[in-house]
Amino acid sequence: MLNIKDLHVKLEEEDKQILKGVNLSVEAGKVHAIMGPNGSGKSTLSYVLSGRDGYEVTGGTAHLGDVDLLDIDPEERAAAGLFLAFQYPVEIPGVGNMTFLRTAVNAQRKARGEEEMSAAEFLKVVRAKAKDAEDRRRHAQAPRQRRLLGR
Amino acid sequence: MAAPAEKRTSLDERLDVIAMPEGGWSQTARVDALARVRASGLPDRRDEYWKYTRPDTLVQAVAPSAAVFDVEEAPVFGTVDRLKIVFVDGVYDADASDDLTLEGVRIERLADTSADIHWARDLYGTLEKNGQTPVLRPLASLNTAFATDGVLLHVTGAVSKPIALIYLHESETSDAILHHVVKVDAGASVTVLENGPAAARFNNVMEVDVADGAKFHHVRAQGRDHERRAVTHIFARLGSESTFKSFTLTANGVMTRNECIIELTGDDSHATVAGACVGDGEFHHDDTIFVTHDAVNCESRQVFKKVLRNGATGVFQGKILVKAGAQKTDGYQISQSLLLDGDSQFLAKPELEIYADDVACSHGSTSGAIDDTALFYLRSRGVPQAEATDLLTLSFLAEAVEEIEGEELRDEINARLVSWLERRRG
């Protein structure tokens, strides 16, 4: 699924090599954790894969399925299925969560040639998902609560 | 007293081409205002108060011509239930205007000199005159002397719907001077809307007297004609426990100078003056604010946001003056610009002058580009760059737009900003 081959990356601004030949293959459905000391390039790898400015790829390749990640813009990588969770999610003052989520969802739908969702449709979907999540949370808690109550 | 020698020529040239209208009850104030202009002369580029904005085209004898812009979109506030008062190139249009009767307010026109409007006689030119110290504002005095029309609103109760002043522009060479007076009685409240380009050159003054416990709310969208020029002044005086709120949206216009002069004279009063401006290319926009705290426990806010690109210029001169004795003052001032390229500039001069010792005053001014991290965050969620930039631009302007009261009016302004951004994106 995700194939990284001999990836070399340096900082754009200064002459500092961060990644010196990273090889990694992640199959579909597998979870991998990348661990390492501070400054070993974990964040750099994730940023380079998702397309953040400031890095220069000096060698190697990265593919998600058949898609050459290094060749396309961040939003196209997102549409291809890459998702980067931020350590500290960015707050954008004045932009409501719903507006932001809908903009993101619609951008993805557009990229896939699907029809965009109206505000009302989107609200319905979010409510259903929220209810689903709430049900699951309750369900997961139930045995624990029973234990606490000594039943 | 005569104007400084170097200003006499421009003043004479200007006065040569305008005539003082038959003023009736306002005649004394007009003559008095003319004397003020003669004493001060008109602003020129050597004046400190005009350091960042060249007044040439605003003071020159004949207004530079301005093409009438063909606006394809519906006018601002079009869907808002309001009482419409229409001026075309500064001339009142009775047919396009609504009947000037509304509960809680008496509406009259400055040009109607037959009546002796006592309350207005006490105010016309008075607040403007007070506003001449410590800084001269000759274009406002010129307005008082030569204004051809305007509305006189005497608000006696809670007015049920906004009063909308609509300024249409049809002549390429029009040079309009309008002067409005608003008196809000104790406990009364009103919302005044203004929109439209008005004329090739527009000099507008609004004097607002807000009595104890009264409320004045003002939302303005200055017209989109690219070549129009405007100089506007709002002079406001606030009684105790009163509220004054004013917001201005400026998109386009080659030259705009908006001055707002507020005096908090009653205890526990509140004043907010805010603005959002979006400028592209040949665009010069100047917000000059002067807030004087002369009472105890008053609050004032100045919130200005400017988005500039393709060589546009934004100016902010904001002052908070806290007089001795104006204890427990809470003054807030922020002016920020979002520069979308390296050619645009933002010039800011925040000033605080404080003579009381128990006050909280804060001010901040920043210029910056789009936040890279936020932009990447949005793009990594699949939002294309142009759309992400727009979203961040709206986010930047939101703090100013939020100063508007009422969702309907806020939405109107936001819709304008969205369509401005969409047009730029093409």
Closest CA to B204 of B183, B182, B188: B182
Residue A138 Cα, gap to closest chain B Cα (Å):
29
Write down which residue in A46, A62, A89 finishes a domain.
A89
pLDDT on residue B254:
96
Closest CA to B350 of B392, B314, B318, B373: B318
Tell me: do A124 and A140 sit in the same domain. yes
User: By a Cβ cutoff of 8 Å, what residues of chain A touch chain B?
Assistant: 50-53, 73-75, 77-79, 83-84, 86, 89-90, 92-95, 100, 103-104, 107-108, 111
Which of A47, A48, A52, A109 to mutate: most B Cβ within 10 Å?
Answer: A52
Closest CA to B159 of B50, B81, B86: B81
Give B377-413 pLDDT, tens digit per residue: 999 999 999 999 999 999 999 999 999 999 999 999 9
B383 → closest Cβ in A86, A94, A104: A104
Residue B345: pLDDT band with limits 50, 70, 90: very high
Write down which residue in A89, A112, A131 finishes a domain.
A89
Tell me: do A33 and A17 sit in the same domain. yes
Domain count of the fold of chain A: 2
Give A51-62 pLDDT, tens digit per residue: 999 999 999 999
Tell me: do A117 and A76 sit in the same domain. no
Q: Tell me which residue range forms the domain holding A82.
A: 2-89
> B376–A95: do the CB atoms touch at under 8 Å?
no
Tell me: do A113 and A84 sit in the same domain. no
Strand ranges of the sheet holding A67-68, from the earlier edge strand across to the other edge: A17-26, A2-11, A55-64, A67-68
Tell me: do A95 and A48 sit in the same domain. no
> A53–B374: do the CB atoms touch at under 8 Å?
no
A138: left (phi over 0), alpha (psi -120 to 50) or beta: alpha
Residue A97: pLDDT band with limits 50, 70, 90: confident
Which of A82, A84, A92 to mutate: most B Cβ within 10 Å?
Answer: A92
pLDDT on residue B424:
81
Residue A148: pLDDT band with limits 50, 70, 90: low
pLDDT at B326 over 70: yes
Tell me: do A82 and A104 sit in the same domain. no
Residue B1: pLDDT band with limits 50, 70, 90: low
Give the DSSP H or E segment for A98: helix A97-111
Measure Cα distances from A147 to A135, A136, B124, B377 in Å: 19, 18, 79, 42
Residue B276: pLDDT band with limits 50, 70, 90: very high
Tell me: do A22 and A81 sit in the same domain. yes
pLDDT on residue B239:
98
Tell me: do A6 and A80 sit in the same domain. yes
Tell me: do A83 and A112 sit in the same domain. no
Tell me: do A8 and A73 sit in the same domain. yes
Buried b (16+ CB within 10 A) or exposed e, A114-124: eeeeeeeebee
Tell me: do A117 and A51 sit in the same domain. no
Omega before A93 within 30 of 0, i.e. cis = no
> A104–B399: do the CB atoms touch at under 8 Å?
no
Give B57-72 pLDDT, tens digit per residue: 999 999 999 999 887 7
Tell me: do A81 and A119 sit in the same domain. no
Tell me, what's the ipTM?
A: 0.84
Residue B246 Cα, gap to closest chain A Cα (Å):
20
